[in-house]
Amino acid sequence: MNKEASSINLFNFDKSFKMPIIGTDEAGRGPAAGGVFASAVYFPKVTKKLISELSILNDSKKLTPKNREYLYDFIFNESISKTVCVEVNDIEKYNILACSLLAMKQACEAVIIESGLKEFQVLVDGNKLIREFSYPQQFIIKGDGKSASIAAASILAKVTRDRYMQELDKEFPEYNWRSNAGYLTKQHFDAIDKYGLTKYHRKSFLRKHFEKQLTLF
């Protein structure tokens, strides 16, 4: 299967619902530093040109940073989209799942308002539905490899979060967030042991590492 055929399959999946699709996905549930991001994407017009330009569209984790950046610009320009960040303080206060779903909810609601859609289906990546959300929704397991709209949302969320972590890296370069995006690599653990925690760290994600030294509550 060539890349464009794969892209056609993603758009055909969305088309099978026979109504406009808003796809949503998150980035940053796993890292121990930085906020969690979610994007929502709606393509008002799906043309042959759009499908061709997005021929490499896929789950953001399967793409190179260069390809994600290319796709980001095209998706942003050709869709109605919104990206939302829920920061560390709220992650610590509520929990990462609740904050991921909250970011998805806010992103979707913004796209719904901007698009003016009256009938549509929201496709949510993963195995959870958005909480306290009054619009039609369906979760799609591994949806970023099935739905064009979810895949596009995964790219917007991932690229936006990576850019955000690069900015945080300028403030705290010791942790190498530019490369590890806040995930707990050995280098990141070593930096935490040497320099301690920053205001951007999710302390609850480090309970085991600091079970004797760190007081969380």
C-beta separation of 120 from 136 below 8 A: yes
Instruction: With cut-offs at 50, 70 and 90, classify the pLDDT of residue 216.
Output: very low
Residue 173 has pLDDT above 80, yes or no: yes
Residue (of 161, 147, 157) closest to 22 by Cα position: 147
**What is the sign, positive or negative, of the torsion defined by CA atoms of 125, 127, 130, 134?**
positive
Residue 201 has pLDDT above 50, yes or no: yes
Q: To which residue do tokens 């950046």 refer?
A: 69
Among residues of the chain, what percentage have pLDDT more than 90? 89
Read off the pTM. 0.93
pLDDT at site 57: 92
pLDDT at site 26: 98
Q: To which residue do tokens 């050709």 refer?
A: 78
Phi-psi region of 39 (alpha: psi -120 to 50; beta: other; left: phi over 0): beta
Identity of the residue numbered 198? T
Choice between 94 and 1, residue whose per-residue pLDDT is larger? 94
Q: To the nearest whole number, what is the mean pLDDT of the chain?
A: 94
Residue 5 has pLDDT above 60, yes or no: no
pLDDT tens by residue, 86-96:
999 999 999 99
pLDDT tens by residue, 110-162:
999 999 999 999 999 999 999 999 999 999 999 999 999 999 999 999 999 99
C-beta separation of 55 from 103 below 8 A: no
pLDDT at site 208: 86
pLDDT at site 213: 55
Q: What is the largest CA-CA distance in the chain?
A: 59
Domains within the chain, CATH numbers bracketed: 3-206 (3.30.420.10)
pLDDT at site 212: 52
pLDDT tens by residue, 66-86:
999 999 999 999 999 999 999
Residue 4 has pLDDT above 90, yes or no: no
Instruction: With cut-offs at 50, 70 and 90, classify the pLDDT of residue 59.
Output: confident
